[in-house]
Amino acid sequence: MMHWINIVVQGGLIGGLYALMAIGLSLSFGIMRLVNIAHGDLTVMSAFIALAIAAWLGAGSLLILPLAIVAMALLGYALQRVLLNRVLGTDLLPPLLVTFGLSIIIQNGLLEIFSADTRILPSGSLVTDSISLAGGLRVGVLPLLTFVVALGVFALLQALFSWTRLGRTFRAAADDPQTVKLMGVDNRHVYALAMGLAMAVTAIGGYFFVLSTTVGPAEGGARLIYAFEAVIIGGLGSLWGTLIGAMVLGIAQSLALQINPGWGILGGHLAFLLILMFRPQGLFPVAKHH
């Protein structure tokens, strides 16, 4: 029994990493109704930005993550302001085509700059250290840290949307962009800030991604699929639903891995399809921000 409990715990912790990589996609869809096909490649790009900063400052520098967050936030703002705002509208096809093209550009740019080699950010004993919990459970320090950071990020985002003027503006722009525009708010600036926020969170996901495993320039597609599955399982528009969806994905993968060593990734996809069949709106759907 403890064996299976351990598997569920480990899978849930993996979900913390998936959640950090999915929340940016959830934010861009929830606020702007933007289906960002390039999100997976932007996640991988944020990992390589962290690697580049580490090469510049030294792998042990505490400034790697803050600088990566700032770089991705500025990139997200510029990307939305200069490019993506031009294709937003009732038709979902133009943003899909533009972000698909952006995905190809990012992937080929990373291949050109960094080559096809996979890389990992050295973290000393952080990858191998573990701690004991009740009942003989042992969990890795890095997965536990990643999960705690994910909880903190979600709590901060919830506070932002609930208690700040900017958060209320985001919610209003998501619910009724025309009325917000009539009130004198520049939607283009609001959407650019939202994408900057989404990319800042994505930078955190990319950082922990490259800390925990090797990353290659061509892995954006897989990251995009995991992010989409987490967001859809949780329910479109649901902040905490994305975290739950990511945990469901991680637990399904861990359980499938125990049944057959080759079924890990398949298990997550099967869980996604089952939930889509029986609850297509997701576990915690939210039509509008409240």
Q: Say if CB 211 and CB 51 are below 8 A apart.
A: no
CA distance readout (Å), 138 to 13, 134, 208, 254: 12, 9, 20, 15
**Rounded Cα distance, 27 and 85, in Å:** 15
pLDDT tens digits, 115-127? 999 999 988 888 8
> 3-state SS of 208-250?
HHHHHCCECCCCHHHHHHHHHHHHHHHCCCCHHHHHHHHHHHH
Model pLDDT for residues 32-72, shown as the tens digit of each residue = 989 999 999 999 999 999 999 999 999 888 999 999 999 99
Q: Is 79 exposed, middle or buried (0-12, 13-18, 19+ CB in 10 A)?
A: buried
**Percent of the chain at pLDDT above 70?**
99
Dihedral sign (CA 270, 274, 277, 281): negative
Inter-residue contact 201 to 116 (CB < 8 Å): no
**What was the pLDDT predicted at 13?**
96
Q: Which residues pair with 215 in a beta bridge?
A: 119
Pick from 155, 265, 268, 147: which is nearest to 208 by CA? 147
* Average pLDDT score over residue span 258-280: 92
192-251 pLDDT tens trace = 999 999 999 999 999 999 999 999 999 999 999 999 999 999 998 788 999 999 999 999
* Mean pLDDT, the chain, whole residue set: 92
Decide if pLDDT at 287 tops 70.
no
The structural domains of the chain, with segments of one domain joined by +, span: 2-278
Give SS3 for 88.
coil
Instruction: Please state which CATH class domain 2-278 belongs to.
Output: mainly alpha
What is the phi/psi pair of residue 185, to 5°? -85, 135
* N- to C-terminal Cα separation, the chain: 41
Contacts of 101 (CB under 8 A, 6+ apart): none
CA 83 to chain centre: 21
Q: The tokens of 79 are what? A: 């990307």
Question: Largest Cα–Cα distance in the chain?
Answer: 60
Q: What sign does the CA torsion over 108, 85, 74, 203 have?
A: negative
Instruction: Compute CA 198 distance to the chain's CA centroid, rounded to the nearest angstrom.
Output: 8
DSSP states along 38-57 = THHHHHHHHHHHHHHHHHHH
Tokens of residue 182, six digits: 């009539």
pLDDT tens by residue, 161-194: 999 999 999 999 888 888 777 777 888 999 999 9
Query: Do 195 and 80 meet the contact criterion of CB atoms below 8 Å apart?
Result: yes
Nearest to 13 by CA among 155, 152, 154, 147: 147
Backbone angles phi, psi at 132, to 5 degrees: -90, 140
Model confidence, pTM:
0.93
